[in-house]
Structure 1
Amino acid sequence: MMHLPGRLRSVPLSRQELALIAITTVWGGTFLAVHIAMRHSGPMFFVGLRFLVAGLLACVLFRRVLRGMTWADAGAGAAIGVMIFLGYGLQTFGLQTVSSSTSAFLTALYVPMVPFLQWAVFRKRPGAMMFAGAALAFVGLVLLAGPSAVRVGVGPGEIATLVSTVPIAGEIILISVFAGRVNLGRVTVVQLLTCSVLGFIAVPVVREGIPAFSWVWVATAAGLGAASCVIQATMNWAQKFVTPTRATIIYTGEPVWAGIFGRIAGDRLPGVAIAGAVLIVASVLVSEIRPRPRPRQRTPGDSRVVDLPPRDRTQHD
């Protein structure tokens, strides 16, 4: 554990936070797979198929609890599923006319948005180090996007990508809102199938068409469907114990892993992107820092407990 002076201390990662870090690794690896699949399938059809596979797997995993489905479970799952689809759909629409680096830059705006949404929804202000971690994560994502990303226009692609940050942040907030109030398995099933249905509905709306059969998109959709099932179920479980801001900072590690997998596949990361990755890792560490509890001392002849003044405290490592 790193040494921190004064009244600051580093809090060890919980198993829920470690689980979120693990799924960002899986998440990062999906980008290369999606990039390959898009050579053989349209995005909306692929989203529909991917989340259909994920939803069916969730049905198998959580089959024992599905009989007890309530309106609260269905409503929560549908709301989260709509957010997932809108985030994917608007980003995909934007990528038709804007570069991937610009899309990454604009999408990164959801990171500073989440702490304020958490404050508004839960009436609890995130700590100063959480804000600092979110700021570092945002700067890291901007550096990962690259210098050319900041040349943003005002076309429909840029607008759609900007709007997509709202459902992306909304998904994270909604998961925390419903955590502990609904059944994990039922909500996971509903949200995955909701996203799938909306994806298939969007195919004729965007005039995409059904792709010619290819084992590439079939196998990729099956693999990514399994990954999506694990990712969403883990998010639903872990965010019962992890705040939305903290979860968001952890999720920003996803493009770092995407860059690592891309490098393995032959891509080269520029120095500024490596600096961005370092900042994102640092943001996770910074957001762990908490103020040390104030030492307390009993006064002679008094049962009350009083705080020691700062100058009388002895610092211990």
Structure 2
Amino acid sequence: MPTRLRWMRLRPQELALIAITAVWGGTFLVVHWAMEHSGPWFFVGIRFLLAGLISVVLFWRSLRGIRWIDIGAGASIGLMIHLGYGLQTLGLQTIESSTSAFITALYVPMVPFAQWLFFRRRPPALAFLGAGLAFAGLVLIAGPAALTFSLGTGEVVTLVSTLPIVGEIILISAFANRIDLGRITVVQLLTAGILSFATMPVVGEAIPDFSWVWLIAGVALGASSCLIQLTMNWAQRSVSATRATIIYAGEPVWAAIVGRIAGERLPFAALIGGALVVLGILASELRIVRRKQPAAETGEPLSA
């Protein structure tokens, strides 16, 4: 039976994910500056606690009818956010950002298989192709230095951080159509912030001296984190975990664009990598459509 490829139009939910991925990628420089004045767990805590408080202001009416499923789902996603962001930020204290980008990119090909494992739904073949292209692009963006890392503490911590990142995406998809959007956003953000502060005495991290840098960065990223998580919770109600992940793979592309605006020069390989990420997103938009042959060609009788 003949087949052809058909492009699918981007839906509003997918456009929203592309937009928040751009915001996400643009936060790289802000986090980098903040880490010069704050410890990782304190900054992650202040970032998500502020995000949680902003979400409380936005959704306080819906909190009156909060259910145990909202609390459980939000707390589990918040735990993944806490571990993913916290461990990644911790690793950045001892390894280069290119190495961190390469290791973190491992979550991109992991999500389609995780979706297959937990949801029992095999993603289409072109979704795997898109994830593969996106991952190859991320490797080029990270640069050749990222391929020569040794498994030190920073590398191991960053590698472990990819697991909760996968967990966050999978859990959002699992609970998306079963919970209230505002309630789960509030719970997950507050959980991530509180757990990050609770981690500080465990790892021996002290409260940093006051700095306008970490305060302004925390407020800005708190607002952006609220927007990002709210959009993810809403969009992944109808966008699969695999499809969303391929879109999220565009984060370092946007980070590279912001870095270029800030004066950083991009190597040619990074430009090729960015093109591969975009190609991966486009590839995942393709659908294989089987065309039925006319009955006369197949030898089947024509219907009356």
- For the criterion TM > 0.5, the same-fold answer is yes
**TM-score normalised by length of structure 2:** 0.95
Tell me whether 1:63 sits opposite 2:60 in the alignment. Answer: yes
Residue deviations 1:171-191, cap 9 Å, x none? 000000001101111000000
Structure 2's unaligned 5+ residue stretches are none
What is the RMSD of the two structures over their aligned residues, measured on CA atoms?
1.5
Match 2:5 to one of 3, 8, 13: 8
Residue deviations 1:252-305, cap 9 Å, x none? 1111111111111111111111111110011110100001243365665636xx
Quick one: which amino acid aligns to residue 259 of structure 1? A
Structure 1 position 93, deviation (Å):
2.5
Higher relative contact order (CA 8 A, sep 6+): 2
Tell me whether 1:107 sits opposite 2:104 in the alignment. Answer: yes
Quick one: which amino acid aligns to residue 17 of structure 1? E
Quick one: which amino acid aligns to residue 45 of structure 2? G
Count of aligned pairs between the two proteins? 299
- Which runs of structure 2 are paired with 1:137-148 in the superposition (5 Å)? 137-148=134-145
Q: Using the alignment, how far apart are the partners of 2:213 and 2:92 within structure 1?
A: 22
The answer for the alignment partner of 2:218 in structure 1 is 221
85-94 vs 127-136, greater mean Cα deviation: 85-94
Pair 1:289–1:209, CA change in 2 (3 A): same
Structure 1 position 203, deviation (Å):
1.8
Q: Using the alignment, how far apart are the partners of 1:6 and 1:267 within structure 2?
A: 45
Structure 1 position 96, deviation (Å):
2.8
Quick one: which amino acid aligns to residue 101 of structure 1? S
Structure 1 position 221, deviation (Å):
0.8
The answer for the alignment partner of 1:249 in structure 2 is 246
Match 1:275 to one of 250, 272, 277: 272
Match 1:287 to one of 278, 284, 289: 284
Q: Using the alignment, how far apart are the partners of 2:89 and 2:104 within structure 1?
A: 12
- Which runs of structure 2 are paired with 1:139-178 in the superposition (5 Å)? 139-178=136-175
The answer for the alignment partner of 2:14 in structure 1 is 17
Structure 1 position 205, deviation (Å):
2.2
Quick one: which amino acid aligns to residue 16 of structure 2? A
Asked if structure 1 preserves the Cα contact closer than 8 Å seen for 2:137 and 2:277, the reply is yes
The answer for the alignment partner of 1:311 in structure 2 is none
**TM-score normalised by length of structure 1:** 0.91
Residue deviations 1:29-78, cap 9 Å, x none? 11111111222221211111111110001011111110111110000000
Q: Using the alignment, how far apart are the partners of 1:275 and 1:6 within structure 2?
A: 30
Tell me whether 1:81 sits opposite 2:78 in the alignment. Answer: yes
Q: Using the alignment, how far apart are the partners of 2:29 and 2:153 within structure 1?
A: 26
Q: Using the alignment, how far apart are the partners of 1:203 and 1:52 within structure 2?
A: 14
Pair 1:231–1:256, CA change in 2 (3 A): same
Quick one: which amino acid aligns to residue 151 of structure 1? T
The answer for the alignment partner of 1:53 in structure 2 is 50
What is the percentage of aligned positions where both structures have the same residue? 65
Structure 1's consecutive aligned runs of 4 or more residues displaced over 6 angstroms after TM superposition are none
46-55 vs 84-93, greater mean Cα deviation: 84-93
What secondary structure, in the 3-state scheme, does the structure 2 residue paired with 1:7 have?
Answer: strand
Structure with the bigger percentage of helix: 2
Asked if structure 1 preserves the Cα contact closer than 8 Å seen for 2:17 and 2:244, the reply is yes
Q: Using the alignment, how far apart are the partners of 1:157 and 1:46 within structure 2?
A: 18
The answer for the alignment partner of 1:195 in structure 2 is 192
Pair 1:194–1:94, CA change in 2 (3 A): same
Q: Using the alignment, how far apart are the partners of 2:14 and 2:243 within structure 1?
A: 9
Match 1:258 to one of 255, 260, 264: 255
Structure 1 position 212, deviation (Å):
1.4
What secondary structure, in the 3-state scheme, does the structure 2 residue paired with 1:150 have?
Answer: helix
Tell me whether 1:42 sits opposite 2:39 in the alignment. Answer: yes
The answer for the alignment partner of 2:90 in structure 1 is 93
Structure 1's unaligned 5+ residue stretches are 304-317
Q: Using the alignment, how far apart are the partners of 1:208 and 1:92 within structure 2?
A: 13
